Structure 1
Amino acid sequence: MSFIRYSRGTTSIMLVVVVVVALAILVQDVQSMEERRASTRASKRLMNELKGFHESDSYKNGVFTVELVDENIFEWQVKIFKFDPESPLHKYLKKMKELGKGDDHFILHISYPYNYPTSPPRVGIRYPVLGSRTNWSRTSNGHPVCVDLLEAGGWCSAYTIEPLILNLATHLSNNIAYSRELGYLKQDS
């Protein structure tokens, strides 16, 4: 019968490898626990915000609506119905509805990160389509909305859904225009 013999050097290396692997697993478990805690805090905050939205003036006055996507508190679909009546965007949406070629609202997809409200949500325009279909790359969440408010430097964890959406509606009214020559909405630079 033969026995496997290890030298002290081999045993020491194996011990170091085992310790490193154990520490890596421990760090992953701690990170996972932190993510779960953050996710729980975020979901509680989002549930409170959703409840608060349904009690808000914006909801009562039909400015915008909020629906969960697949009952996921971290994925919201927002329909904005009211824009500045003098904006080209409002006039375009109204005309498209009258002609039966579209709806009179914007649809946004909002994805909240697990560490919300520390980090800002991602917002994409789902409807109407911006730009020509040939030069515009669409993500599953829509055309990304890029505003300072949604960047880490411009984000404040005190923001809630109502002022965020109202701010985005103002941004869209001021920065989205209809191109008669090209036949589609475009985002002004």
Structure 2
Amino acid sequence: MTGIMDFKESTGASQAWCLESGTCFKVDFFDEEERKIHFKWQEEDEEESSDIKFSITVPMKDDPSSKWMFWSENEDVLNKIMEMHDYTDACKEKSILQILSKIDCLLKPLTDPDNESDADEIEDDYYADDDVDASMPEADQDMARGAEGADSGEEDDLGANFFGDVGSKAAVARLMSDLKTMKKESCKFGLDGSPRGDNLFIWDIKLKDFPVDSKLGKNLTEYSQKFKREPVIQLEMQFPHDYPMTPPFVRVVRPRFKFLTGHITIGGSICMEMLTKSGWRPINDIEMILVQIRSEIMSDKQASLDMNDADRPYGEQEARDAFNRMVKRYGWNS
């Protein structure tokens, strides 16, 4: 691990970075026994530091199993830095300076809340109405404008339904943040997904790129050739209006799995405590959920498709019924 310094070197490099990078992050304290460096955000004109704090656990230089670890008592900070585990797992030879620079970028929405251009850009892209095409004949433009005017009342109703009541604004903000993360990172995890049309609370997902030499990978190839479909697992995610305080409902749409394989219930729901109130944590974002689901499916070497009935989609009600049976069986809280 040539990129990993020893703990004292990492501490010194961190202090130098805080002084030279122009950031307001400072080393708060460090714990050599636990190999943790604690950071805080403190602007020069403020006597007290803010609640933007986090810690980095430095891996042992000569221990291949030792990993970078990141933590914060502040849930907003923790939610932002959780992706650092994937960032460092992908290449353990990241230096402490690379890691701090990455965290500094991730926490910009919290340390510089006035600079929200990235989020605004994504939101504008997602919700922006298409302008009337200037290349249309004038008569067609008039017709298009007329249709827009006629539909304006319906659009207002749709907007009200989409955003829900005041309590769901936090859910919309969180889902927009999750969407931004998905657009940037999902391709490297074998994920593809986005909201269904204008409904931010229902997402269509594809799990893809399963190992072709695995039982499931071979089944998906056969399924694709037989039914002329992509060799992917199609999921549907339904989010409650108090997300992320409550977990989404996730189900397989197609293809159908063999009974009791892949941690998929007979109705197509996902057998994971993480997706119940018993195991749910609000810091879980959409990408994290899907990575866990994909890993859970792949963890079963016997995961395979019901090739006699593979293209018949699971119904939502059968998925919910199977989910409720599973929760009752394991004593989880739904």
- TM-score > 0.5 by shorter chain: yes
The answer as to 2:180 corresponding to 1:55 is no
Give, in angstroms, the shift of residue 114 of structure 1.
0.5
TM superposition shift of 1:152? 0.7
In structure 1, what is the Cα distance between the partners aligned to 2:295 and 2:189?
A: 16
Shift of 1:91: 1.6
Deviating 4+ runs (over 6 angstroms)? none
Question: Given that residues 216 and 305 in structure 2 are in contact (C-alpha distance below 8 angstroms), is that contact kept between their aligned partners in structure 1?
Answer: yes
The aligned counterpart of 2:210 is: 83
Q: Hey, what's the Cα distance between the residues in 1 that align with 2:281 and 2:189?
A: 26
- 2:249 pairs with 1:122: yes
| Cα deviations by residue, 1:93-148 (Å, 9 ceiling, x for unpaired) | 0222244554300110000001100110000101113459xxx986xxxx222211
Corresponding residue to 1:148 among 262, 269, 273? 273
- Taking the aligned partners of 1:62 and 1:158, their CA distance within structure 2 comes to 19
Taking structure 1 as reference, are residues 179 and 129 closer, same or farther at Cα in structure 2, changes over 3 Å only?
A: closer
Map 1:164-179 to 2 at 5 A.
164-175=289-300, 176-178=303-305
Structure 1, gaps ≥5 residues long: 1-34
RMSD between aligned residues: 2.7
The AA in structure 1 aligned to 2:289 is L
* Counterparts of 1:95 and 1:79, CA distance in 2: 17
Structure with the larger RCO, 1 or 2 (CA within 8 Å, 6+ apart): 1
Q: How far apart, CA to CA, are the structure 2 residues paired with 1:68 and 1:178?
A: 26
The Cα of 1:68 is off from its aligned counterpart by 1.3
Given that 2:179 and 2:194 are in contact with CA atoms closer than 8 Å, whether structure 1 keeps it comes out as no
Distance in 2 between the 1:178 and 1:78 partners? 18
Q: Quickly say closer, same or farther: Cα 1:86–1:148, change in 2 above 3 A.
A: farther
Question: How many residues end up aligned between the 2 structures?
Answer: 141
Residue 304 of structure 2 aligns to a residue in which SS?
strand
Q: Deviations over 1:18-50 (max 9, x none)?
A: xxxxxxxxxxxxxxxxx8233110011001110
Which amino acid in the other structure matches residue 68 of structure 1? P
Question: Where does structure 2 lack aligned partners over 5 or more consecutive residues?
Answer: 1-163, 260-264, 311-325, 327-334
TM-score where L is the length of structure 2 = 0.38
Alpha carbons 1:131, 1:184 under 8 Å: kept: no
Percent identity of equivalent pairs: 23
Report whether the alignment pairs 1:159 with 2:315. no
1:104 to 231, 251, 258: 231
CA 1:184–1:100 in structure 2 vs 1: closer, same or farther (change >3 Å)?
A: closer
Give the 3-state SS of the residue equivalent to 1:96 in structure 2.
Answer: helix
Q: Secondary structure at the match of 2:250?
A: strand
User: Aligned to 2:165, what secondary structure does the other structure show?
Assistant: helix
Q: Aligned with 1:47: secondary structure?
A: helix
With structure 1 as the length reference, what TM-score do the two structures score?
A: 0.64
